[in-house]
Amino acid sequence: MKFLKINIHWISTLIFLFLILFGTLTPRDVIEVPDFGSDKQYHLLAFTLFVMPLTFNKLKNIYWVLPVAIVFGALIELIQPFVGRYGDIKDFYADALGSVIGVCLIALIKMIAFIKLK
C-alpha cells in the first residue's frame, strides 16, 4: 500500500508542470496574460517553482531534476511553433536559469537549516 501514499512534493511538481504546459503551449489568443514586463520573468519564476518541491524533498534529486527541467524547457521552445507560439532561445535561457536558481535556493535553505541544527 506504500505506492498509494500521496507525496505532496510530486503533486506540487505535477501542478507546476501542467501550469507551465498550459501557459507555454496554449495559443496566445486563447489566454490573456497580464503584461508585467518581459515574459522572461514568467519563465524564470515558473521553472524556479517547478524544480523546488522535488529538490526540497530530497537534495540528491538535483542530479536528475535539473537536467530534466532544462530539457523540458528546451522541448517547450521546440514545440511552441507547432501550436501557434514562437520559440525563443531567450525563453529557454530563462527556463534554465530559473531551474538553476530553484535548486540553488533549496540547497542554500537546507544548508542554513543544517548549520542552525548543529
Q: Is pLDDT at 93 greater than 90 in this prediction?
A: yes
Domain ranges in the chain are 40-118
Question: What is the arithmetic mean of pLDDT over 77-87?
Answer: 91
CA distance 103 to 48: 8
Query: What pLDDT is recorded for position 65?
Result: 96
Whether this prediction's pTM lies above 0.75 is answered by yes
The cell for 3 is 505506492
Question: 105: which residues sit within 8 A by CB, 6+ positions away?
Answer: 48, 52
What is the crossing angle of helices 62-79 and 8-25, to 10°? Answer: 20
In a 10 Å sphere around its CB, with 0-12 CB exposed, 13-18 middle and 19+ buried, how is residue 13 labelled?
Answer: buried
Q: Return the half-sphere exposure (C-beta side, CA atoms, 13 A cut-off) of residue 77.
A: 17
Query: What cell was used for 9?
Result: 512534493
Assign 118 a pLDDT band (cuts: 50, 70, 90): low
- Render the burial of 68-107: b for 16+ CB within 10 Å, e for the rest: ebbebbbebbeebeeeebeeeeebbebbbbbbbbbbeebe
Residue 5: pLDDT band with limits 50, 70, 90: low
**What would the pLDDT profile of 39-77 be if each residue is shown by its tens digit?**
889 999 999 999 999 999 999 999 999 999 999 999 999
Tens digits of per-residue pLDDT, 9-39?
A: 999 999 999 999 998 998 877 767 667 777 8
Provide mean pLDDT across the span 90-112.
96
